[in-house]
């Protein structure tokens, strides 16, 4: 189950993110801006409760979010989306998951995990710019479920059919929000046309 957010501004920013001439500073800014659009859509159905608020003139009947939001970036590239989402949900708790893909087998390997305690009303939002093979993302969500989280949403910038199929097969109950579904993976499991290595472009490491 996935939603491709085709908003014109998302697609415009995505064109700049894809451009190989876009430097790290602008790349980071654009990833954050796209992440906010995606989170806005992903949180559309977040639970709320009615609340009476005293305005300067009278009492207004309003709504406030009741679900506790837990943001979980997958290291390292997921960090590039984190600030934008904490701007949107400043009271969110934050966990971190370190996952990488074995270069020989492409199997996901966990090297770090630190998550807040799951509460009955918690919603975990897992963030990673790329959903390529889907193996690391699916493994991350499995670990989050093991920690007691029942409501989970996955947000990525770029995805592909192979990754969506793998992820959805393992976690059909977890909705995915993405800015685009690209054509395919290449022989090295990079998304085509993609945007390159998101971590390297975010942090200027290559």
* Residue ranges of domains in the chain: 2-45+66-203
Extract the tokens encoding 67.
């679900």
Longest pairwise C-alpha distance within the chain: 66
Q: Mean pLDDT, to the nearest integer, of 52-79?
A: 94
Extract the tokens encoding 8.
């014109």
Question: What span, in angstroms and rounded, lies between the C-alpha atoms of 77 and 100?
Answer: 11
Q: 102 falls in which pLDDT band (50, 70, 90)? A: confident
What is the structure's pLDDT at 106?
Answer: 67
Of 3, 101, 102, 166, the catalytic one is 101
Question: What span, in angstroms and rounded, lies between the C-alpha atoms of 134 and 124?
Answer: 18
Of 28, 200, 201, 205, the catalytic one is 200
121 is catalytic: no
205 is catalytic: no
Examine the pLDDT at 52 and tell me if it is beyond 90: yes
3-state secondary structure of 145: helix
- % the chain with pLDDT above 70: 99
Of 93, 105, 133, 150, the catalytic one is 105
Examine the pLDDT at 78 and tell me if it is beyond 80: yes
Q: Mean pLDDT, to the nearest integer, of 107-136?
A: 91
19 is catalytic: no
Instruction: Print burial letters for 101-132: b (CB count within 10 Å at least 16), e (below 16).
Output: beeeeeebeeeebebbebeeebbbbbbbbbbb
Contact 131, 102 (CB under 8 A): no
Residues 6+ apart with CB under 8 A from 29: none
Tens of pLDDT, residues 25-40: 999 999 999 999 999 9
66 is catalytic: no
Question: What span, in angstroms and rounded, lies between the C-alpha atoms of 137 and 36?
Answer: 20
CATH classification for the domain delimited by 2-45+66-203, as one of 3.30.750.210, 3.10.580.10, 3.40.50.2020, 3.40.50.10300: 3.40.50.2020
Which ranges of 89-197 would DSSP assign to H, the alpha helix?
135-146, 161-170
Q: What pTM, to 2 d.p., does this model score?
A: 0.92
138: how many CB neighbours lie within 10 A of its CB? 22
Extract the tokens encoding 22.
């876009």
Q: Mean pLDDT, to the nearest integer, of 3-29?
A: 95
């Amino acid at each position: 189950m996935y939603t491709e957010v085709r908003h014109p501004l998302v697609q415009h920013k995505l064109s700049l993110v894809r451009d190989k001439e876009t430097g790290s500073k602008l790349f980071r800014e654009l990833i954050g801006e796209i992440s906010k659009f995606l989170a806005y859509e992903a949180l559309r159905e977040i639970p709320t409760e009615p609340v009476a608020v005293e305005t300067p003139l009278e009492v207004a009947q309003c709504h406030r979010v009741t679900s506790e939001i837990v943001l979980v970036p997958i290291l390292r590239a997921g960090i590039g989306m984190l600030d934008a989402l904490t701007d949107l949900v400043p009271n969110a708790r934050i966990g971190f998951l370190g996952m990488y893909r074995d270069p020989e087998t492409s199997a996901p390997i966990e090297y770090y995990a630190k998550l807040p305690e799951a509460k009955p009303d918690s919603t975990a939002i897992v963030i990673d710019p790329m959903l390529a093979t889907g193996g690391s993302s699916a493994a991350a969500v499995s670990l989050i479920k093991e920690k007691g989280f029942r409501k989970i949403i996955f947000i990525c910038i770029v995805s592909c059919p192979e990754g969506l199929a793998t992820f959805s097969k393992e976690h059909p109950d977890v909705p995915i929000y993405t800015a685009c579904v690209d054509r395919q993976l290449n022989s090295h499991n990079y998304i085509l046309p993609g945007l390159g290595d998101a971590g390297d472009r975010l942090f200027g490491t290559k």
